[in-house]
Amino acid sequence: MSSKVPYVKHNNGTQIQSLGLGTYTSLGGDCERATLHAIDVGYRHIDTAYFYENENEVGAAVQRKIAEGVIKREDIHITTKLWCHFHEPERVEYACRKTLQNFGLEYVDLYLMHWPYSYVYRGDNEMMPTDAKGEVELNDIDYLDTWRAMEKLVELGLTKSIGVSNFNSEQLTRLLANCKIKPIHNQIECHPALNQKKLIALCKKNDIVVTAYCPLGRPNPAEKTPNYIYDAKVQAIGDKYKKSTAQVVLRYLIEIGTIPLPKSSNPKRIEENFKVFDFQLDAEDHAVLDSYHTGERLIPMTHAIKSKNYPFNIEF
């Protein structure tokens, strides 16, 4: 099955499957089970983060599938992320090695800076350190200094590639002007309500791949939100291609130039999300999906708004 899924080439020559398994909030064995099933049905791109606290589960699943002979290590692309309390340049290598220990692997394929802003370090597991007022303790480390430390990880062979997440156009432009190793990815929140077309265009111009988190907008069946999953207009598009509304949305995100990372621990849904490469949307379908764009974020991270590196103060 995986051979039918197109791959995207990066600016450093490596390549990645054009849809990945998201694992945020997948814990307690769910993540390991989801990863095992995803690999069995053909996923070769798994996305996680130190902050998700499930790197060990992803690692266990990957090692099991290697031991079973289902995959070789080089067949699978694993992305993880440097959390905000590890931004001091002298902590970056330590953080990456800790992550590799969690996975039980010798390298990751892609290491992203999770956010451009940083927190005060109060211990490895104190991921949202707060002060006496209960406010998150921000640090003003320059992400360029963090990036330089990440570049060394590539030289050390701890990661094949490096990239960023949640960087806006100005931050990306500044990074590109000051880096030795160019980022291969910018992972951003992206779905029909926040279609990110301007940021995607900037990334494309600079040969940076965009991965889309929250691609389905965190569906809530009880409240029938987001509307682009439950709306009759999207339902009609799904009926036209014999696809679900989620599959229509994932296809849309692929066609506008992203690699979606749908998160699921439901085996059926993991399979369904992968079956989006056998149909194409037309211009009318795109017009319908474009109409849901409001620019509203699900993950505004307002606790970090006082940081000079907060990314959402500008349009894109």
Active site amino acids: 52
CA distances from 38 to 5, 24, 65, 268, 272 (A): 13, 15, 11, 10, 11
Burial class (CB in 10 A: 0-12, 13-18, 19+), 198: exposed
Number of Cβ atoms within 10 Å of the Cβ of 227: 15
Nearest to 150 by CA among 201, 230, 88: 88
With contact defined as beta carbons under 8 Å apart, do 265 and 30 qualify? yes
Interhelix angle 245-255/267-274, nearest 10 degrees: 40
Which residues neighbour 232 within 8 Å (Cβ) at sequence distance 6 or greater?
none
Annotated binding residue at 185?
Answer: no
Q: Give the gyration radius of the chain's Cα atoms.
A: 19
Binding-site residue set for substrate? 114
Binding residues: 114
